[in-house]
Amino acid sequence: MEIIGLLALGALVFLLASVAQAVTGFGSALVSVPLLIPVVGPVQAVVAGVLVSTALCAHACVKERGEIDLGLVKRTSAAAILGLPLGLVLLTVLPEVQLSLLVAGVVVVCALALALVKLPPVGRLGQAAGGFISGTLTTSTGLNGPPLVITYQAAGLEPRRFRATLQASFLVQDVFAIVGFVLVAKIDATACFIALGGLAGVPAGWAIGDRVFRGLNPETFRRLVLAGLVATAAGSVATTIH
């Protein structure tokens, strides 16, 4: 695909992804990675998603820094950093078909988990486990959101605090993930051009999604989170089978 095509693809995909991120707090990779995989493959899709996510989450953290639960961020991020190398190994070793299946499987499992009527509470050990799994998924599939969604919803965070805390956690993971991608030489021109286009689509996407978010009550917010996971799970499975 030519440079203009990659830029346009990135702008469109990450405009949609940013809307999802603003509305649910975590939807960027769940939208972007499945959409990009059929066009550029799983590795470039994951790398481009992390590059754009870094800028998106940094912007959100600055805007909503007063809502961030720093204790949760520290506990989950410390464990996530330990999981990042394992994810890099999976990204390097797994064939593209298996990596695509992993993407689909992660989304399906997490959608089913969030479909529970009431999530069980998790303590510090559960928060660390959620962080470790999220870190592993950051560098292998780009889909680090679902484990943290489950962990933070179980912690009982209200929607605005939930969204802000997720952005802070994602930002920490994304920065370390980029360092890892550089070390294993996974950042190429294709991923960079898609990410550059994606940066153009992020502001409008976040603005649209934020307007929707402001009108949501907690129960509607939870339903949208679950619906987003289910829809993306279906799309991931369909893409992989195809």
pLDDT at 232: 60
**DSSP summary character for residue 95:** -
Structure tokens at 129: 């486990």
pLDDT at 105: 75
232 within 8 A of 107, measured Cβ to Cβ: yes
pLDDT at 98: 76
Number of domains composing the chain = 1
Run means of pLDDT, 10 residues per run, the chain, 242 residues: 91 93 84 87 89 93 92 93 91 77 71 64 84 88 79 84 93 91 91 95 93 86 73 60 58
Residue ranges making up the domain that contains 217: 3-241
213 within 8 A of 159, measured Cβ to Cβ: yes
Q: Residues 6 or more apart from 142 whose CB is under 8 A from it?
A: 29, 32, 33, 45, 46, 47, 49, 50, 53, 103
pLDDT at 175: 93
